[in-house]
Structures are given as structure tokens and as C-alpha cells.
Amino acid sequence: MFEFVSIDQYHSQLREGKATCMQAVEHYLERIRSTQHLNAFVRVYDEEALEKAKLLDARRAAGQPMGSLHGVVIGIKDVIAYKDHPLTAASKILKDFTSVYSATAVERLLAEEAIIIGSLNCDEFAMGSTNENSAYGKVLNAKDESRVPGGSSGGSAVAVQSGCCMLSLGSDTGGSVRQPADFCGVIGLKPGYGRISRHGLIAYASSFDQIGILGGNIGDIALALEIMSGPDEYDSTVFQKQSEPFHSLYKSEPGRKYKIAWLSQALDHPALDPEIASSIRSLIERLKSEGHTVEPVEFELIDHIVPAYYVLTTAEASSNLSRYDGVRYGYRSGDKDDINQLYKKTRSAGFGREVKRRIMLGTFVLSAGYYDAYFTRAQKVRKLLFDKTQLIFKDFDLIFLPTAPSAAFPIGEKMEDPIAMYLADIYTVMANLVGVPAISLPLFTHSNGMPFGVQVLSNRFKELDLLRFSNQLFR
């Protein structure tokens, strides 16, 4: 019977003849079938995955060298392009659309012989925190099917949580990898802005979006990050230095002592579940006893983070989503001879409620008379947040935050209160506003039985610090 522990262990099994890629794919296809009710996958590429596994087994038998991700089974969020495969962003407005190219991140995975097993459910256009805003229906948390899995990368988190793939890709605009990872008890990494090319990632808010990785151990996350990182001629915002050898270095410096800041306003915030606060404080004391420097830092801007984030991201969404108009591709409704009616009917019927809400909010904050009052002011807050964060990183290596103010909550609990839903992002959006890497680590279990963890941030392009510290915690 096939059993997955890590990519390194899997590759050892392949080399020793104790497993085959075909066995791995068949195992995951069976898991996908048996957990179909969780609704994590919107499409499964079963025949294609089996054919790729057969080919890789033949290459290995012929003595050909193995790629870094040889036979590794990966699911990708339905906002990441995969050539000649459907790409819909879980939205009716992209119904029947097929991607004409692959995202740079996907191309790099395939070049290292990864197997893409399917596309994963998500909140429509990555807008949501519960994976209840999908044209394909809600995703269920495998730990407790009455609770949300988090969002927007809920399908990506549940696919790893339920053992349906070895790794998954999500996207993170304000916590959409880290929060579902927290709710589902898996590891979720949001690299710093520009670490992984956004070419082929459907845009929600272009200055915030980043492809992220969900998995079960730090080594696998490090390997995927190493492969997908690096310059890309199709993305001018990507970091221009070559990728670092994250996988070979994440275990180095095992005895290093870190200087860690924790934000007092965050842990003392009235929105934070007392059990989560207590667990993180206990972790802080443990780290102090192990010789790390862990100190509180005042962060008086905490309550300005969510308003600034939603002003800026909805403004960018209003611009980015204007291309979905029923003219060139996707869903179309209305009279093709009346272009205004075509636009109105297509966008009204094609977009879901939450997407329309954010488009309208973004259009409002960009409108004449309100631009300076909202958008310009939010940009100033973003600059203040960046400057404050950089001051902290002058004295500390890492910043501790909760990932979410609560563990996974019941399905439907916040759907009729968008403000409460948005405020649940209070701890994750900061990393996107200032462009730094962040990781959610599943370290604890709530009294309600649900997993939760801690979020750790490092300075820009210091993902290696995150991986090394995280590896210390998981030893």
C-alpha cells in the first residue's frame, strides 16, 4: 500500500523499487474519489496523470535521471493557468474557458517532472475567506464537515489535509493560503511579493497577489519554492536574482537563536480567541527558554490594516475584472447588438455576489470626489505600515502573529455579515500590504477539536529564515 511522508522519502522508494509513480497516482485518484463529497477538486486529470506516471516509470527504468519533482503529485488552484486545461476562477463568467498557456510556476513544476492531478476549488476570483463563494459550491473541512475550510484557497488546503495530493498551489492576496492552511492543519507559505512569477495567475489585486504553497512538511515546501522562484521575462515585478537553494539549506543552522518580535496589540486584541492567544504566549515562553530572544513590540496601526487592505484591493479588483465583459471569452448574456446591455447582463449574471460587492466598492473608492479620501489615504497607510515593519526588522529576524482570530467556524456563520468576514483577515493581510513572506504553522489543537497555528513573518526575500525557523519548530 502506498504511503506518502515526504518527497525525499518518496524518491528513495522510487530509486529502491519499493514504489512506482503509477502506484502513487492510483493511490491519490482513489483518495479523490473517496473524498469527492468534500468538493476540493473541480476537475481531475486522471487519464493524463496516469499516462504521465507511466512515462516517468519507464524513463526511470531506462536509467534516466530523475527530476527534482519526479512523480510528485500536485493540485493547482483554479486561478492558475495550465495550458489546454479549463481555467475558470470558480466563476460562471469564465465558463468553458480553456487556458492557452501555462503559468510560469506550473511550467517550472512540469519541467522537473511533477504530475498535475487536478484543479482545486476556491472562492470566486479568490475573493473570500471560507470557500463558500464558488460557482462549484462550498468546500468542506475534512476535520469537521460542518465547518469552513478557510479561503480563498480552501480546495488547496483540503486536498492536502485529506491526502489527495502531495502538495498544492494556492494564491494569497490577503491570507488566502495561510488562513485555510490554519483552518485545515497544514503548512501554508506565502512567499514575499515578487519571489514567484505571477505570470499565469488570474489577477485579483496585482500589487498584493502571490502564488503560495500548501503541504505537510517544510522540506517539500522548500523544494517547491526553490523550483518555482527566479526571474521571469513575463513578470516585471519578479525578483531578478536566481532562486536560492532552499531545499538544501533549510536544515542548516539548526542551533541558531532568533530575535523574534510579537505585536502586543495583536495578541491583546479583543477579536482574538483566548485559547489561541494563550497557546501563542506559551510558545513564546518555550522559545525564550530555548535561548531565543522574544520581545513584545508596540504596533499602534493594527486597526488600520484591514480598512487599508480592502480599499486598495477592491480598487485593483475593479480595474482587473473589467476585462470580463462577455465580448472576447467566457460567459455571455444579453443582446449582442446592444453593447451596454451585453456588458450589464453578462457581468450581472456571470459574477457572484461577493465579487460584485468588491467591484462596486473598488469603483466607488476610485471615483471622482472619493479617490483622495479613500484610495490615496489607504496608500499612505500602506507606506506607514511598510516603514513600521522595516523598523521592526532592523532589530528582529521574525515577527509572530496569530494566523486567524479563531479556529474554523461553522459553515454559513459569517456569510450574511461581510464586515465580520473581512475583519477575520486582521492578522494575514499585513504581510501582503508590506510585501513580506509569511508562513502558517499548524502547531495546536483547539478545545473544539479544530487545528490552529501561529503565523511567522520575515523580511523581504528572507524566506530561508522562515523555513529554517519553521524546521526548528517541527523537529
Residue among 156, 95, 91, 98 nearest 125 (CA): 91
Any alpha helices (H) in 250-295, and if so which ranges?
264-267, 274-289
Number of H helices, E strands in the chain: 17, 11
- Sheet containing strand 167-171, edge to edge, reads 41-44, 115-120, 73-77, 167-171, 211-215, 187-190, 438-445, 451-458, 398-402, 259-263, 293-297
User: One of 77, 138, 143, 414 is an active-site residue; which one?
Assistant: 77
User: One of 91, 102, 134, 152 is an active-site residue; which one?
Assistant: 152
345 is catalytic: no
Decide: 172 and 184 in contact? Cβ < 8 Å. Answer: no
Return d(Cα 262, Cα 293) in angstroms, integer: 11
Decide: 69 and 114 in contact? Cβ < 8 Å. Answer: yes
Characterize the bridge pairing of strands 115-120 and 73-77: parallel
Any alpha helices (H) in 213-371, and if so which ranges?
218-228, 246-249, 264-267, 274-289, 305-320, 339-350, 353-365
CA diameter of the chain: 72
134 is catalytic: no
User: One of 91, 119, 156, 176 is an active-site residue; which one?
Assistant: 176
Decide: 117 and 29 in contact? Cβ < 8 Å. Answer: yes
Q: Using the 8-state DSSP alphabet, how is residue 429 labeled?
A: H
Characterize the bridge pairing of strands 398-402 and 167-171: unpaired
Q: What are phi and psi of 456, to 5 degrees?
A: -125, 135
Q: Using the 8-state DSSP alphabet, how is residue 232 labeled?
A: -
C-alpha cell at 198: 505571477
Residue tagged 515526504 (cell numbers) = 6
Q: Please report the DSSP string for 160-226 in residue order.
A: HHTTS-SEEEEE-SSSTTHHHHHHHTSEEEEPPTTSB--TTBPPSSTTT--EEEEESSHHHHHHHHH
Any alpha helices (H) in 321-462, and if so which ranges?
339-350, 353-365, 377-395, 418-423, 429-434
Decide: 78 and 42 in contact? Cβ < 8 Å. Answer: yes
Cβ count within 10 A of residue 163: 17
Angle at CA of residue 39, ends 33 and 43, nearest 5° = 70
54 is catalytic: no
Residues annotated as catalytic (active site), given as ranges:
77, 152, 176
